[in-house]
Amino acid sequence: MRNHQGLSFLLALSIIRCDVVLAQQVPAATVTARPTPSSSDTLMLLAGSDHPPVALSPAEFASIPHVTLSVHNAHSNADESYSGVPLPMLLAKLNAPLGNDLRGKQMTRYVMATGADHYSVVFSLAEVDPSFHAGQIIVADARDGKPLGNDGPFRLVVTDDKRPARWVHNLVSITLANAE
């Protein structure tokens, strides 16, 4: 019995030591994690190591020029009007390559929008760029002239999608990333 306890102790010690060695061998920079959505009213704009994060409070967001779009919401089967900031304008705050700068290797870039409930959707950067794609994508802070209520403070709205599956309510982060 005594011999088994000693072996059990050595086995447990070697497992712990192995975990420590493995943890030390994985550089932190190689570990990629999804941004952790928060339940705050702040919208985070992220671009990995390419650019420092940009945090926008509702007041800061309201100071950015807005557009108003009329869309049909297939979920509610109703026509709705949303006011918000075009997504390309927000991506410019991260120095996203848009317009003539979006070519070559830059075409592998994508945008991930994440809600407070961890629901995430992805767009190629070309889908977001008005020089490539006719549809509009906005980050809305008002619907039919009123705050979003339970869907807010921010909501992603996409005009050209036939279904609003990529309309992210309670939007908390927008991440610009590379597919390569």
Q: In the predicted model, is pLDDT for residue 39 greater than 50?
A: no
Least confident of 25-29, 67-71, 99-103: 25-29
Mean pLDDT over the full length of the chain:
82
Alpha carbons within 13 angstroms on the beta-carbon side of residue 6 total 3
- What's the pLDDT score for residue 82? 96
Mean pLDDT of the region 22-49 = 57
Reported as a single tens digit per residue, the pLDDT across 87-115 is 999 999 999 999 999 999 999 999 999 99
Distance (Å, whole) CA 147 – CA 127: 27
Q: Which CATH class is domain 43-178?
A: alpha beta
Distance (Å, whole) CA 140 – CA 156: 6
* 66 closest CA partner among 143, 140, 145, 171: 140
